[in-house]
Structure 1
């Protein structure tokens, strides 16, 4: 094996420092969602390791500026830009084109990973983005001796059949089609990747359950909300009429119809609801609110600049977000950072944020008959409670310690691939890994 001290591939390697190869399809400093998560994990890994991150050239200007502003980081974080040929890029015109472009890009990642490994001899590999558990991972091309951390990934959350009526006919058909396609690809790609990975990081409990046979599993959302990023000072005194906000795309699987129904129940009689976002359900929301006599209490504010969204979170009394299969919605983490109580249903990602952050003012509503009435009751109870303190649980400061624990755990998985997984417990959720006996 080539000595790390002799490597001159990029930067100045430090003897004894862990060498990490990271794959981040999206990796953009100062950006949100997937690009922001990709950068946050790459930067955090560089706190204690030398990191090579494979990403796309579209993020080069932002990465170059960030590294120029931080020479110490630049000495430990080495971007490797990778794109398909220009003719492929020209064909990639619409959002859905990512579903053919991304697998091809991952194949290229596998080739580049082998090339880099011959130069550097990595100690661990980490697939960060896409956070999708049914798409391929190019880092599986590396030798099996290189510990692989896969995630955070999600997608194994589906709307229960008994709740499909909340999606409308078109939404239900789309959800059934999504389930069929993603489960097929999950069997083709993901099950093999989970067996190859030394550690699977799931965005929520659905991922842990789906890949329970993987050598090891932890649950951690990829949201990054810095302390102080969300203003928490109200612009005015609280009103007798309480305000709940819904932040996200206006599509039925995010629970828009459940939210409107909840406002029609007497328990939510002194609440108004603001939808922030755009999407095909806006017309339905406005028409249904008028039909139910809620036009003066339900409003759609459309897509807002980020600063206006954060102000809305600061001014609101609660977030009503009864999504039915969001893997790890950042809006919920932002609400927690603003000290805003969250009301959600016990599905997919939001309960992870609430259980690890809440002081009891938030509410997780059980799935089943009567959900709108129970959401309304949760609004009533929330309105009677003081606003909780802002939470820093989801800031980037948690990630270096997480990665150090994950990389150490991945390196300890024995060759015979023990069947018992590992999950984070409530008592040791940051670095504690406990046997999965559930």
Structure 2
């Protein structure tokens, strides 16, 4: 008989990236072997129902949970309000989960989104094993780079303090210690969870590319007279775009084209910075680009650049690798740990001046060596194929079975501990 899994993810959509894609990819891939019920917010209900109408799946069921009245708005432009909404939604989702469990008798509950340890889900209270993750959130921004945050450094500093306090918050400790397994994305989060008393942890990347979105044949790129760099993210201080812009100052002798995809509160400031640095002929702001359009940009580019100063991971880096793009990234946190060295140039995070210099050196190296770009791109494509979402789902199902076996007979415990 197939396992019955309750999957909980705040955001879920088959047509988006980021957190929405995390929940959806787990739901769809796990439902190939298990009966899966998903508790999620109805923000993307139409996307889900449209997809299921075209791709029926009798093993996949959705339970949409929303809050009443003023508490329910989903506003990604007011992140503070959205975070409050998330905390309130967690409470309502748990109440729904208790009732659903009485009807369906789940074997296991798995909380996947949001993928952070910053707030403790209550689902461990259900009388079945609780799996949490993959999660991050234990990483902090390096103090040496505070000038890139401007007035936002105060908020980032307060976040750092909160991360240091997380292991001692009773609700976090209880959730951590009651988890049958916590899947972690980066070493910084492992350390926070260890201090909180985690008994069982396993490193597990946050994201896998769906098999149908990985090209069957390695995407080859025709030689060009210029090198196209692609940067994509939300425009906020921790994403670190100015590091790339400053590196470009020392590369005026190279024929470069830089595509910047995304939007956010810093757009005007960063556009002004491009003008100030006299890079307007090199850097092109594309605005918001949807998930489907991003595939075309990956194929158009020669190198993907990731400059985040504080991030659990960067799903876009895997999407880039899937399309055969070499990645130039800061070598810390989730990307530093998870991405294969053969497909990436990782810049040590030391001082701002050294990082800017190393980014420029990396770009120059990749410009001068098309064969290196090809070899890195192919290594990344092969890595993504070997770690596709279907492969990860199989690994997860095996982990579920081990957890359930331990529950039946604790003497045979073979779960990883830290």
User: Fold conserved (TM > 0.5)?
Assistant: yes
- Structure 1 residue 335, shift from structure 2 partner: 0.7
- Structure 1 residue 292, shift from structure 2 partner: 3.5
**Compared CA separation, residues 309 and 59, structure 1 to 2 (3 A):** closer
**Residue among 130, 141, 158 paired with 1:159:** 141
- Show the counterpart of 1:278: 263
- Show the counterpart of 1:122: 106
Question: Quick one: distance in 2 between partners of 1:293 and 1:187?
Answer: 49
SS in 1 for 2:207: coil
Question: Quick one: distance in 2 between partners of 1:69 and 1:290?
Answer: 47
| Aligned residue runs from structure 1 range 422-437, under 5 A | 422=416, 436=418
Question: Quick one: distance in 1 between partners of 2:111 and 2:213?
Answer: 27
**Compared CA separation, residues 96 and 114, structure 1 to 2 (3 A):** same
Where in structure 1 are there 5+ consecutive unaligned residues? 1-15, 423-434
SS in 1 for 2:35: strand
- Structure 1 residue 343, shift from structure 2 partner: 0.7
**Compared CA separation, residues 65 and 242, structure 1 to 2 (3 A):** closer
- Show the counterpart of 2:401: 408
**Compared CA separation, residues 226 and 45, structure 1 to 2 (3 A):** closer
2:204 is the counterpart of 1:211: no
**Compared CA separation, residues 46 and 172, structure 1 to 2 (3 A):** same
Deviation per residue, 1:343-381 (Å, 9 max, x gap): 1112222224522xx5x2520111113111111111122
**Compared CA separation, residues 84 and 185, structure 1 to 2 (3 A):** farther
Question: Quick one: distance in 2 between partners of 1:26 and 1:274?
Answer: 28
2:274 is the counterpart of 1:289: yes
**Residue among 57, 63, 67 paired with 1:80:** 63
Question: Quick one: distance in 1 between partners of 2:96 and 2:268?
Answer: 47
2:407 is the counterpart of 1:395: no
- Structure 1 residue 228, shift from structure 2 partner: 5.8
- Structure 1 residue 50, shift from structure 2 partner: 2.0
- Show the counterpart of 2:87: 103
2:178 is the counterpart of 1:178: no
2:25 touches 2:210 (CA, 8 Å); kept in 1? Answer: no
2:373 is the counterpart of 1:386: yes
- Structure 1 residue 69, shift from structure 2 partner: 4.2
Deviation per residue, 1:316-354 (Å, 9 max, x gap): 121111211121222111110111111111222222452
List 4+ stretches of structure 1 deviating above 6 A: 414-417
**Residue among 132, 150, 170 paired with 2:116:** 132
- Show the counterpart of 2:173: 191
Question: Quick one: distance in 1 between partners of 2:86 and 2:122?
Answer: 10
Moved more, 126-135 or 393-402: 393-402
- Structure 1 residue 134, shift from structure 2 partner: 0.9
2:176 touches 2:193 (CA, 8 Å); kept in 1? Answer: yes
SS in 2 for 1:273: strand
Deviation per residue, 1:101-132 (Å, 9 max, x gap): 22222222222222233333322110111112
Question: Quick one: distance in 2 between partners of 1:66 and 1:177?
Answer: 41
2:309 is the counterpart of 1:324: yes
Moved more, 76-85 or 125-134: 76-85
Question: Quick one: distance in 2 between partners of 1:292 and 1:197?
Answer: 50
- Show the counterpart of 1:54: 39
**Residue among 189, 200, 203 paired with 2:182:** 200
Deviation per residue, 1:63-105 (Å, 9 max, x gap): 444444455x32x223223222245326979543222222222
Question: Quick one: distance in 1 between partners of 2:234 and 2:10?
Answer: 23
SS in 2 for 1:117: helix
SS in 1 for 2:72: helix
**Residue among 4, 15, 19 paired with 2:4:** 19
Point out the structure with the larger helix share.
2
TM-score normalized by structure 1? 0.81
1:110 touches 1:138 (CA, 8 Å); kept in 2? Answer: yes
**Compared CA separation, residues 166 and 67, structure 1 to 2 (3 A):** closer
2:166 touches 2:192 (CA, 8 Å); kept in 1? Answer: no
Aligned pairs, number: 400
- Show the counterpart of 1:89: 72
Question: Quick one: distance in 2 between partners of 1:413 and 1:215?
Answer: 14
Question: Quick one: distance in 1 between partners of 2:73 and 2:390?
Answer: 38
Deviation per residue, 1:148-200 (Å, 9 max, x gap): 11012222211111222332x31322311332345556643333211111111
Where in structure 2 are there 5+ consecutive unaligned residues? none
Question: Quick one: distance in 1 between partners of 2:350 and 2:313?
Answer: 22
